[in-house]
Structure 1
Amino acid sequence: MIYRCTNPDCPCVIEQETRPACCPECGRTMAPVEEEALDGQQWVALGSFWAERGESGGARALTCFRRAAALGNVPGISNLGWCMENGVGTEADPRQAVWLYRQAAELGYPPAQCNLGWCLQKGIGGVTDPVQAAQWYEKAAGEGYPRAQLLLSYSFHDGVGVEADPVRSLQWLKAAAFQGDPAGQVELARRFVLGDGVERSEELAFHWYQKAAEQGYPPALYYLGYCYDTGLGVERDAAQMALWYRRAAEAGEIRALRELGLCYELGEGVEQDWGMAAELYRNAAEAGDDAAQCNLAWCYEFGLGVEQDPAQAVAWYRRSADQGNPRALTNLGVCLEKGNGLPADPDGAMDCYRRAAEQNYGRAQCYLGINSYFGLCNCTKDEETALRWFLLAEENGYPEGAYWQGLCRWSGRGAPEDRKAAVECFHRAASAGVSRAGFYLGLAAERGWGAEREPAQAVRWYRWAAEEGDAPSQYNLGWLYARGEGVERDDKTAVEWFRKAADNGDADAMCGLGLFYEQGRGVEQDLTQAAEWYRKGADNGDTDAMCNLGWLYAQGQGVERDLVQAVSWYWKAAQLDHARAQYNLSLCMARGEGVEANQTAALLWLEKAAGQDYPPALCTLGYRYENGDGVDRDYGKAAEYYRKAADLGSATGMCNLAWCCERGLGMERDYAAAAEWYRKAAALGSVQGLNNLGELYRRGLGVAQDYAAALRLYRKAARQNDDTALYNLGECYELGQGVEPDLKKAFSYYRRSAKLGYSGALCALGRFYEEGIQVPSNLSKALQYYQASADQEDAEGMYRLALCYAEGKAVTADRKEAIRLCRSAMASEDLEIQNDQKLREDLQDLLERLEK
């Protein structure tokens, strides 16, 4: 039954089975009316009533508008055209729609004029004519029709059908907005946001969005939420943001469903609820919102608010990607690259990245760069191409691009090495929150690479990245605490950072923990724990950990001694070019420890380690060439290897090079150079350097003779229990060199040195016991000391033992043994080194007497 309002000024007409209690528009009573009694305008009102009910009322709306049009009602003709255009109650017939619009338009009806203009602009009905479209818009706009004013504003803005005219565009737009047209108000707000034809004003933008929102206009409700979300023209307010997004969503604004889902995801303006977030994303996704589809896929990929389902994730990413969403394309590419939710497809992954990159999506451009940088996903490795992608990624707002540019310039890949430029890139990335850049900024400040060396700044950068979970930064920060660089030294805090890095899978940190447990730094010493951490680091590929674990096996510390295991770990690390492991492996092969002795292989591994400028290997290889051990003796090569080690800061290398200078091995004898190298080694705490420099001062070789200086150096070395220095001090006190003669002190120093096994001290003690100096004469003891000294090929020890055999002192006289000892002493390296002319003459005299 049809009911009409009894108020003659109210146009309301409705159709339902029962009489309504009152008019829904003015509140007056409604009266039944027959169809034949309705005029054209009332048929239009009844058609609108049914059109508002959607698809279910379409057919009845079409009938009503036909009846109105048949009565010559212009709005009825126009609305019938609308039904034809949109297929309401019938199959769409754009040509018929245009014909009907034109009939009503030519009768001066503004909505029809506007609709006709729209059809002509968009080519609906088969004819495209933007000029005529603009003319019809202008006719309707001139009659004050807001939608036409808005569309005419667009025409003047874009120069469609008319010459572009920003001023007129703004005039017509304001006409629509000031009439209260919510779409016009939203467009005016947009222009204030962008400063498009007006002076930019966020406050005025908010004002117009609010005006439109007050009318319940769904896009305005959404944009008002956006204003509160971003602080556009109003103070940021998460609660208000969520409120307006909710209102927009309830009004059917799909974007608002997605943004409300994000509010629940982040817990902004509402209590965090992943389940609600996923539900809202699903509602928007099923309505076709590509961004929501991507968000829902993310939930499925990581099990956020829904049960984790990689296949579902891929399905939703694909639906979003099919709409061209660059984020979905990129995420789908990652799934294809990793084989997550579907079989791995590197080529498919690259295609997705390229399609997203073509939309200037920075993350996809960065991924293309990474794959070019490493040669992944069937890409040809091309570092220059990678750098170009990284540049584009940053230009398009993806700060990781700046980080990767920094890596390229840091290591000279894709561009010349330029660490200063790299640091600038890392600063840009860090300022945008890329915590990984903090690692390189810390490294630059720690080492002075591309920036001033500032340990305190290094601590700051490492700490920032470390607190964001960057394992290498946690590890390096630990070492700054361990060394007290840029921060007060604190081994306990160092261990804490090592542990965090190790928990994040950093193999270096696992090794660091092993080292601190081994040394008892920051934790109670625990060699078992040390071995466990070294094993973890080794299992994760850390070569230092492999080598250190090998060492523990070799020493039986924290594990049962097992030389085979030691060699096994050295071998693993050596194969990965770890110099110390190669050196240790060479020693094991040379000695036959844990492996069958193999001098050829030992030399090969020693040369590999030396080739990496590992100082102990350089010194050992030099020693081999000096002594002809497994190689042809070559003093020149020996000196060369020693010099390399010395230049690398090795105190042993410095002492050995000084020895070559002193003895003229592989070079002209140069005592001054020897003194200088011994001095450098002594400055590094080398007892050999201290002692040998002292010896040069005592003998006045390469330096002015200075017994006092010699004594100072001997004492420094002796404090470290150096056997040679203790012996030399004994000599000084016996001979009164730089001190008053004191045979008691001399005897004491000789005895301390002899207990350490020094051959010269053993001989000296033998002499004291033979001659009864400071002790009762005891030839048997003297003989024992001479024998111990001679066993070490000490020239004087062999001489004095030869005298005992020649004269039968405490031993049965044996001329042949005495002759053998004399000859051995005269041929000994010790005699040559000591260059003791008196001892040489005494040996010659004794030998001549024995041979007569």
Structure 2
Amino acid sequence: MRAFIALAIGSVLLGAEGTLASSSSAYLSCRDAAALPVTGIGVSWSDLDAAAAVKLCEAALAADPENSRLLAYVARALRKAGRIDEALEAARRSALAGDPEGQTNLGNMLDGDLGDEKLRDDAEAVRWLRLAAEHGHTVAQHNLGKMYEQGRGVSQDDAETVRWYRLAAEQSYAPAQTSLGWMYDQGRGVPRDDAEAVRWYRLAAEQGDASAQINLGVMSEHGRSVPQDDAEAVRWYGLAAEQGDAIAQTNFGRMHEQGRGVPQNHAEAVRWYRLAAEQGNATAQFNLGRMYAKGRGVSQDDAEAVRWYRLAAEQGDATARASLGWMYSEGRGVPQDDAEAVRWYRLAAEQGSAEAQFNQGVMYREGRGVVPDYAEAVRWFRLAAEKGLAAAQARLGAMYAQGQGVPQDDAEAVRWYRLAAEQGNAVSQTNLGWMYGTGKGIGQDFVEALRWYRAAIKTDFIKGTTGLFDFLIRAELFEAAMETIIEAHNDPRMQTLTAEEQRILRLRLNEIMERCRIFKHSGERSLASLERVAEFGISQVAFILGNAFENGEGISADLGAAVRWYRLAAEQGDASAQTQLGWMYQKGRGVPQDDAEAVRWYKIAAEQGNSALRKIGLIRGQIASSSISRAKVDRSMPKWTS
């Protein structure tokens, strides 16, 4: 936040013109070209045309060589032109003559943060700024406050900082109003008071001060002492962004990216990020890199993402360093290099980045770029976990559960799993469900186990569902498994899964159905559950029931029931059921013998590529009960296909 407050040479306010001023046209031309901007006169530092200003002011000074205010103007013009020695001499002459403007300019030149580092003399800067400040020069008052705030040339003193800021702010000097607002914002030298901070920010913002506009935008965005209002935040960020402020451009881009206060527009976000990034703003550079990495608002380009991440990382941005490490870890946009990944992770981790600490832990656990070391992995996981990173809490819980790098401790595993689970981490929610289901580290409680598995399904459909399937299979809770199949099949998210996710999920479904078909191990309740699932519309289960009734597997054989279930599955497009139904018609099992109907079902199955039927090569009219043996129907568990 403190970075929001700009202290630029071009923002310095002109004090009273005093008796040394002149009304000559030469003087006025110099003033308009080189004076510090205030009350409609002067020019900002960025807009100051050094060559033109030097020419005009030297001409005016030639006509009035003893005018100390003209000397102050000349000093500013020469300084912008890079003629530092001449600027220093002009500023010194003006200051020694007692001109507050000259004293302020001299103080600024001796202030290492504003002037040339080679000239730096903080104590001398304070001396000259104080002389001007005591004469009521607003810029000097503000900059003297800055010296007190930072403890440069004087002992650090927030109360004295506030005193000098207030003197300048009450004279309507916008940068001082912003700085005073910041002191109220942070509770430094005054009790913290968001309402008073907003009041001062608004006064400065309405004068066009970009830093105040940004800070007021932040207050609006977060609802601090003003109603939370994204549109108002966007308005203030936009005003500052249009002035070229890199922080405002970054925030303005973020609001466009997130669609907050404006319609979401990734291309517009990229435009603003780029403007700020090209000014060297590390946050914008990182954000622009992220947009390239994800292909948002620009064509996806890992190499370009790496370029922007690197620019931000080299400025010390921890998030960019962590992201650059990940790019090296994955070989995206750069050759894969675990050692380089570890280097960038470490730099970010040592800055306190929880994500980097977590990734560093993963590298030590897996021995990538470093010698495998579970204890070191635990150390990094713990640092990130204590910062509240759910992924790290989940990993730390797993390390305790497995006794890797720490003594095995199920209770401690449960503690970390719970912290992550309560943040919505699906892996920890399933792990916590498992711990409750097995009674490891906590009292066994199937109800609580199912509650956490259900929570995981809401968080991450694939992880939660497969975790629940695994638990139900091992616990032989077949009735609950059937209910879960219905829920999974009916969940709209089932249709949005990738092919690989569908494959994983269906493997678990098939495993449950394979277990549930052995009725002698699960009884009539499983039969009822299977019938409910089959009637719901899952063809694989209907086929299982058909097989069971045809062959008397765990229940009494019933060919009529077998045909009913085969038909239900066949009508849902199950090729194995279509083949088996054809066989029942061919042999007259549970239905009147009917070769034509048998051929019809065989052909439907063949159109789906049923291998057994392709070998038989049946066509209408070729079926003869005396010449064709029973089709070799695949009796293995039918699999869900992706």
Q: Which residue of 1 aligns with 2:80?
A: 266
CA distance in 2, matches of 1:436, 1:520: 31
Counterpart among 112, 117, 128 of residue 316 in structure 1: 128
Residue 298 (structure 1) aligns with = 108
346 and 634 in structure 1: CA distance in 2 versus 1, 3 angstrom threshold: same
CA distance in 1, matches of 2:542, 2:97: 92
Amino acid at match of 1:380: P
| 1:222 partnered with 2:38 | no
Task: Encode CA deviations 1:618-647: one digit per residue, 9 max, x unaligned.
Answer: 221122223333223333323332333333
Verify: 1:325 aligned to 2:137, yes or no.
Answer: yes
C-alpha contact (below 8 Å) 1:277/1:305 kept by paired residues = no
Give 2:151's aligned residue. 339
Pair 1:428 & 2:250 matched: no
Query: Residue in 2 aligned with 1:793?
Result: none
Q: Which one is further off, 237-246 or 656-665?
A: 656-665
Task: Report the counterpart of residue 90 of structure 2 in structure 1.
Answer: 280
1:497 maps to which of 300, 305, 308: 308
**Cα distance between partner residues in 1 of 2:379 and 2:117:** 49
Q: Which residue of 1 aligns with 2:326?
A: 515
> Does the 8 A contact of 2:488 with 2:494 survive in 1?
no
Identical residues among aligned pairs (%): 33
Partner of 2:350: 539
Deviation of the 1:217 alpha carbon: 6.7
Please state whether the residue corresponding to 1:621 is helix, strand or coil: helix
Q: Which runs of 5+ in 1 are unaligned?
A: 1-215, 711-730, 746-772, 774-833, 835-852
- Counterpart for residue 704 of structure 1: 537
Shift, 1:606, TM fit: 1.2
Structure 2: state its 5+ residue gaps: 1-20, 42-47, 515-529, 544-573, 581-604, 616-631, 638-642
For the structure 1 residues 661 and 598, does the alpha-carbon distance in structure 2 shift closer, same or farther, using more than 3 Å as the test? Answer: closer
Quote how far apart the aligned CAs of 1:740 are.
4.3
Q: Distance in 2 between matches of 1:345 and 1:610?
A: 46
Matched, 1:486 2:486: no
Q: CA deviation at 1:382?
A: 2.2
Letter in 1 for 2:178: C
CA shift digits 1:277-303 (9 cap, x unpaired):
222211212222222222222221125
Give 1:467's aligned amino acid: E
Shift of 1:218: 7.0
What is the count of residue pairs matched by the alignment?
Answer: 505
Q: Provide the TM-score with structure 2 as the length reference.
A: 0.72
**Matched position secondary structure for 1:396:** coil
Partner in structure 1 of residue 262 of structure 2 = 451
Residue pair 2:91, 2:106 contacting (<8 A) in 1 also: yes
- The Cα shift of 1:476 comes to 0.9
Letter in 1 for 2:167: R
Is residue 244 of structure 1 aligned with residue 49 of structure 2? no
Aligned-partner Cα distance in 2 for 1:570–1:670:
34
CA gap 1:391/1:237 in 2 versus in 1, 3 angstroms: closer
Shift, 1:384, TM fit? 2.2
* C-alpha distance after superposition, 1:791-841 (max 9, x if no partner): xxxxxxxxxxxxxxxxxxxxxxxxxxxxxxxxxxxxxxxxxxx9xxxxxxx
State the shift of 1:462 in Å: 0.7
Structure 1 residues 569 and 736, CA gap change in structure 2 (3 angstroms):
farther
1:354 Cα deviation from its structure 2 partner: 1.3
Map 1:668-707 to 2 at 5 A: 669=483, 671-677=485-491, 680=494, 683-684=497-498, 685-686=500-501, 687-692=503-508, 701=534, 703-706=536-539
1:701 aligns to what SS in structure 2? helix
Larger Rg: 1
- Distance in 1, Cα, partners of 2:461 & 2:125: 59
Q: Aligned-residue CA RMSD in angstroms?
A: 3.6
Q: Report the Cα distance in structure 1 between the residues aligned to 2:51 and 2:134, rounded to whole angstroms.
A: 34
Superposed displacement of residue 419, structure 1:
1.2
Deviations 1:549-571 (A, max 9, x none): 01101111011111111111111
Distance 1:631 1:305 in 2: 63
TM-score, length-scaled by structure 1: 0.55
Q: Which amino acid aligns with 1:266?
A: K
Q: 1:653/1:364 Cα in 2 relative to 1: closer, same or farther (>3 Å)? A: same
What is the rounded CA distance, in whole Å, between the counterparts of 1:402 and 1:540 in structure 2? 30
Structure 2 CA distance, aligned partners of 1:284 and 1:614?
66
Distance 1:397 1:421, change over 3 A: closer
Distance 1:441 1:397, change over 3 A: closer
Residues 1:641 and 2:455 aligned together: no
Q: In structure 2, how many angstroms separate the alpha carbons of the residues matched to 1:305 and 1:348?
A: 25
Tell me whether 1:615 sits opposite 2:426 in the alignment. Answer: yes
Within 5 Å, give how 1:734-745 maps onto structure 2.
Answer: 740=610
Q: Structure 2 matches for 1:121-270, cutoff 5 A?
A: 219-227=24-32, 239-250=51-62, 251=64, 252-267=66-81
Is this contact kept in 2: 1:403–1:434, CA < 8 A?
A: no
Distance (Å, rounded) in 1 between the aligned partners of 2:578 and 2:209: 79
1:248 to partner: Cα distance: 2.4
Deviation at 1:374, TM superposition (A): 2.5
Q: 1:380 to 1:643 in 2, by over 3 A?
A: farther
CA gap 1:590/1:661 in 2 versus in 1, 3 angstroms: closer
Aligned partner of 1:550 in structure 2 is: 361
Cα deviation, residue 316, structure 1: 1.6
In the alignment, which of 351, 357, 362 is matched to residue 169 of structure 2? 357
The SS at the match of 1:669 is helix
**Cα distance in 1 between the residues matched to 2:479 and 2:228:** 42
Supply the AA of the counterpart residue of 2:379: S
**Judging changes above 3 Å, is the alpha-carbon distance between structure 1 residues 709 and 276 closer, same or farther for their aligned structure 2 residues?**
farther
Contact 1:651–1:681, Cα closer than 8 Å, also in 2: no
Closer, same or farther: CA 697–605 of 1 in aligned 2, 3 Å: closer
CA distance in 2, matches of 1:697, 1:263: 85
Give me the whole-angstrom Cα distance separating, in 2, the residues matched to 1:638 and 1:631: 11
Per-residue deviation at 1:402?
A: 1.1
Q: Is the 8 A contact 2:237 2:248 kept in 1?
A: yes
* Alignment-mate amino acid for residue 610 of structure 1: A
Post-superposition offset of 1:434: 2.0
Question: Is the contact made by 1:419 and 1:450 (CA closer than 8 Å) also made in structure 2?
Answer: yes
Deviations 1:499-542 (A, max 9, x none): 11112221000100100010011111110010010000011111
Cα separation, 1, equivalents of 2:50 and 2:225:
45
Could you tell me how far apart the structure 2 residues matched to 1:418 and 1:661 are? 48
Q: 1:474–1:501: 8 Å Cα contact kept in structure 2?
A: yes
Question: In the alignment, is residue 470 of structure 1 matched against residue 303 of structure 2?
Answer: no
* Contact 1:672–1:701 under 8 Å retained in 2: no
C-alpha contact (below 8 Å) 2:481/2:512 kept by paired residues = no
Counterpart residue number, 1:374: 186
In 1, Cα distance between equivalents of 2:351 and 2:479: 46
Q: Could you tell me whether the CA contact under 8 Å between 2:534 and 2:542 is conserved in 1?
A: no
Match in the other structure for 1:127: none
